[in-house]
Amino acid sequence: MTISKNDNFPLQELRVLINGEMQNISSDQYLSDRKIILVGVPGAFTPTCHLSHLPGYVENLQKFKAKNYSVTFISVNDPFVIKSWSDESNAHDIDMIADGNCDLTSELGLTMDGSAFGMGNRCKRFAMIIDNGVVQSIDIEEPGAMDVSSAESQLARI
């Protein structure tokens, strides 16, 4: 079942790249007393994710911060790929969750089958607004789209 508005975010141990360092932190601790835009993408360095989705958030990050929101990306990639993607994209002020085993993505009910592209199970493209661990909204893209989860769409929502 897919996570929905007003649901509590699941309790899991996260591997999060914060300020250039990979950290293990529980989701309740990470989300406590914070407003976060959580953005799910199918994969680091994939064309839409790397050339459009992440850059939109990098370019608009100060606008999110001005509204007291931080931005976090999640992808089904290992921590080393996530670190390289962050460095390559100059996304150092955006936290990134490395969901290498697809555990969190599965628990959120947001997996997609990328087997046709040699990618196996991946994360659907989405944007979720979370306030103190409670989902305020979730926008899930149709396959191949990047509209409702864009930085501009989420800025208009908050």
Name the residue type at position 37: I
- DSSP output for the chain: ----TTPBPPP-EEEEEETTEEEEEEHHHHHTT-EEEEEEES-TT-HHIIIIIHHHHHHHHHHHHHTT-EEEEEESS-HHHHHHHHHHHT-TTSEEEE-TTSHHHHHHT-EEE-GGGT--EEEPPEEEEEETTEEEEEEEPPTT--STTSHHHHHHH-
Is 49 marked active-site?
A: yes
Pick the catalytic residue from 17, 36, 49, 74: 49
Q: Which residues are catalytic?
A: 49
